[in-house]
Chain A
Amino acid sequence: MEAKEIYARTERKFSGKVSGFQGDVIDPNFRVEAQAIVEVCRYLRDDPELNFETLSDLTGLDLPKENRLQVVYHLYSYSKRHQIVLKVDLPRDNPHVSTMEGVWKVANWLEREVFDLFGVIFEGHSDLRRILLPEDWVGYPLRKDYVEQEEYDGISTQRAPLVEKLLR
């Protein structure tokens, strides 16, 4: 199914909660209100003609200029061979969104990663811990304004640039 029609169907069902369809880009996408994302995804999965069986990817995108964080969902249907991209805008200082675990289980780890690297809180998540970084790491590295701590556990995270030494 064409992305345009996927959006039209979703909009008919959830009018006012979805918006901003972009159809003339490489991967067509639209925005979903943060409160409605789980319902929308459950509908996209269960509707027999949309039938998005899997969540290919769930990731974050930091947009400090517009003071928002985006959570990006890539949905794919094996049986219908179509894909759609959903985006949820969250405020940068307090990003909260419901977990997608109840719809696709893979969201458990993908959301942990977004929590780890972007600091997005997924409400209702069964096990929201850091996954790649140590539990006591400070900050969210994939945010654009992230400043690395100078040392971790007594180990320096900085190294003098080797090239400059050679040039001297």
Chain B
Amino acid sequence: MSEAPHNGGEAFHTEDMTISMGPQHPSTHGVLRFIVKTDGEVMSEAIPDVGYLHRSIEKIGEKVTWHGYVPYTDRADYLAAMFTNQAFCMAAEKLGGIEVARRGEFCRVIACELNRIASHLISVGTFGQDIGAVTPFLHALRERETINNFMEEICGARLTYNYIRIGGVGYDILPETCARVREFLDHFEPIVDEYNRLLSYNKIFVERLANIAAITREDAFQYNIVGPNLRACGLKWDIRRDIPYSVYPELEFDIPVGTGEKGTLGDCYDRYIVRIREMEESCKILRQCLKMLPKGPAIAKVARKFKPPAGEVYVRVEAPRGDMGFYVVSDGSEYPYRVRIRTGSFTAMSLIDKISRGLMVADLIALIASLDVDAPEIDR
């Protein structure tokens, strides 16, 4: 006769399970790993383990010339290479006291905003995919493909652009490209509504995101959360408006912020919807830039052996993943003395440990997707 199974009582005890998630989990946006302690489906902690994509880009900066470093910055965040290009070039220009060609500034903004749309498309597309909606991802990639074609027209590369150079941009934007970008905007703006119908207001999607992993403003300051993630907490803060650079002060655009419209302020849904709205704002900026594009050279004259005077500078640009800081030190030689890249994903990752406590395992995926962390940007 077999014994009856234990279904409770003192003989039955539970213990937390430790699971290694990654380093190749498809929902982890690059090579990331989490050490997750769970009690059933509820996590007691999720400790991020990063560094799998460390390529010592900061050290390389000390070994190559100022001009020669620009292609390396592409690799720091390959989904938004324009912004790393621009941040480094701005740092070099500030140190060297170089004035950027005015047409070059507009070319930069056009390229950057196209890149922002492409990056946000990946972000919201993979967001849907992580939650289980595969179709929106394909729609997002379809539009991104068109932007990649523009990038190819503008600078010859589809991912690692090396387009923005010290003093301006590498190649002028042709009028034909401008016309095609305008055509694309006419096509793309209604597509955003299509996404909204398909994904943003989908009941299942909203319920998976609303009230999940809300970040308070205090936490955002303590952990230095930046960019769309910070704006989702309700703070109207955008480097383009608040610490202006390039020609952004001449352009009109809104700064979308989270309002807690489907749940709590600063929850996953707010972080998602801020990105959707930012794409609309980028379209507005692009239209203005295409109209205002002045005539003239696209790049200022800069010495080939560029040697900025000794000094140091910290520049910020508003990248798709927030405030990207380049701390560059020059000792007056042909090579940068030190290049430091501070990225939004790195600080966002450090918050996950705190915010994930008590969440379900499936919500961790929503949290990672909503923070839009990007492994190359974390590890550099």
Residues of A within 8 A of B (CB): 25-27, 53-57, 59, 61-62, 72, 74, 78, 81, 83, 85, 104-106, 108-110, 113, 117, 130-134, 141-142, 144
Contacts and interface: CB of A to CB of B under 8 A. Distances in A.
A56 B325 contact: yes
Given A27-B312, A56-B342, A57-B325, A142 B59 contact: yes
Interface of B is mostly: mixed
Given A54-B224, A59-B340, A131-B51, A81 B242 contact: yes
Given A25-B312, A56-B325, A133-B54, 19 more contacts: A27-B312, A27-B314, A56-B314, A61-B338, A62-B338, A104-B221, A104-B224, A105-B222, A105-B223, A105-B350, A109-B349, A110-B347, A130-B51, A131-B51, A132-B51, A132-B379, A133-B51, A134-B51, A141-B59
A59 B342 contact: yes
Contacts of A25: 311-312
Contacts of A105: 222-223, 350, 354
B221 A78 contact: yes
Contacts of A55: 224
Contacts of B62: 144
Contact of A108 (B311, B314, B342, B350): B350
Interface of B: 50-51, 54, 56, 58-59, 62, 94-95, 221-224, 235, 237, 242-243, 311-314, 316, 323, 325, 327, 329, 338, 340, 342, 346-347, 349-350, 354, 379-380
Contacts of B54: 132-133
A142 B58 contact: yes
B313 A61 contact: no
Contact of B95 (A26, A57, A83): A26
Contacts, number: 80
A104 B222 CA distance: 5
Contacts of B342: 56-57, 59
A53 to B, nearest CB: 4
Contacts of B314: 27, 56-57, 74, 83, 85
A15 to B, nearest CB: 26
Contacts of A109: 346-347, 349-350
A76 to B, nearest CB: 9
B329 A56 contact: no
A136 B347 CA distance: 24
Contact of A27 (B59, B313, B338): B313
Contact of A106 (B223, B237, B316): B223
